[in-house]
Amino acid sequence: MGDFRYAQYCPLARAAEVVGNRWSLLVLRELMLGPQRFGDLKRRLRGVSTSVLSERLLALEEYGVIAPDELPPPASVRVYRLTPHGEAFRPVLLELGRWGVRWLRPPDAGDHFELDWLRLALESFAAPGPTPARRFELRVGSARLRFEGGAHGFRYSRGEAPADLTIEASPPELLGLLTGLLPAAAAEARGVRFHGDAGALADLPRLFRFEFPSRAQPQGQGANP
């Protein structure tokens, strides 16, 4: 098992020992999206060294959270996947994302972004119950993400049915459109491109239930009015 311990007989302390090391949570984020090769993890987790990534994978494997596997032919490559213990962490990870959005700020220069990271975010903020029966496609560079609403509620699209509206944008503008906080005219002024039924844009935020509570203030400062 991992070498670090809080030496406290508390389940929260034990959980922090398992996932609290730097990069461990982000390794789990990647594997929530599907099995990954070591090289894929290294590429997507920019800034992690090979040795640290190896240590985190080994520790998570020893805790029984992840396991090595091999994809079937013709791939036949070694990957890491979540175990049932790892999958049990999914609702915790989604709730952490909901909590963390209150500190999400415009990206700094050089910040990395993968469009499929939004898969977990959108899942965590999906509105319960029926939603507008619209299909959307998001594009950031060459990456694409497709989802839809309807009587079933939010879900990722299956098949190749055309989207009602395709949006090409950078991550901050995508967030503004998903939440409904960025008007279409302002988005276009920032370089966002829309293809398809422009009327579908008004339905986009109705597929989600975003909440932005007041951020915690530094000590000595009052809360915003």
Instruction: Give 117-207's CATH code, choosing from 3.40.109.10, 3.40.1830.10, 3.30.1050.10, 3.20.20.70.
Output: 3.30.1050.10
Q: What are 125-168's pLDDT values in tens digits?
A: 999 999 999 999 999 999 999 999 999 999 999 878 899 999 99
Answer for the pair 150, 133: CB distance below 8 angstroms, yes or no.
yes
Residue 177 has pLDDT above 50, yes or no: yes
Q: Which two tokens stand for residue 39?
A: 């090289």
Query: d(Cα 210, Cα 203) in Å, to the nearest integer?
Result: 14
Q: Can you tell me which residue has the tokens 């909590």?
A: 99
Contact of 53 with 42, CB cutoff 8 Å = yes
d(Cα 207, Cα 202) in Å, to the nearest integer? 10
Q: Does the pLDDT value for residue 225 go beyond 90?
A: no
What is the tens place of the pLDDT at every residue in 61-119? 999 999 999 988 887 799 999 999 999 999 999 999 999 988 888 899 889 999 999 99
Average pLDDT over residues 44-53: 96
Amino acid 222: pLDDT: 42
Q: Show me where the domains of the chain are located.
A: 11-88, 117-207
User: Which pLDDT score is estimated for 213?
Assistant: 65
Quick check: 221 pLDDT over 60?
A: no
What pLDDT score was predicted for residue 23? 97
The values of phi and psi at residue 78, to 5°, are: -80, 135
Can you give the pLDDT at residue 2? 59
C-alpha triplet 138, 99, 132: angle, nearest 5° = 40
Q: Is pTM beyond 0.85 here? A: yes
Half-sphere exposure of 41 (CA within 13 A, CB side): 28
pLDDT of residue 216: 52
Reported confidence tier of residue 220, pLDDT bands at 50, 70, 90: very low
Q: Quick one: CATH architecture of 11-88?
A: Orthogonal Bundle (1.10)
Q: Mean pLDDT throughout 21-38?
A: 97
- What pLDDT digit, counting tens, does each position of 179-208 carry? 999 999 999 999 999 999 999 999 999 999
| Whether pLDDT at 215 is above 70 | no
| C-alpha of 96 from chain center | 10
Closest CA to 144 of 118, 124, 105: 118
| d(C-alpha 62, C-alpha 15), whole Å | 14
Q: What is the pLDDT of residue 1?
A: 59
Res. 32: pLDDT tops 80: yes
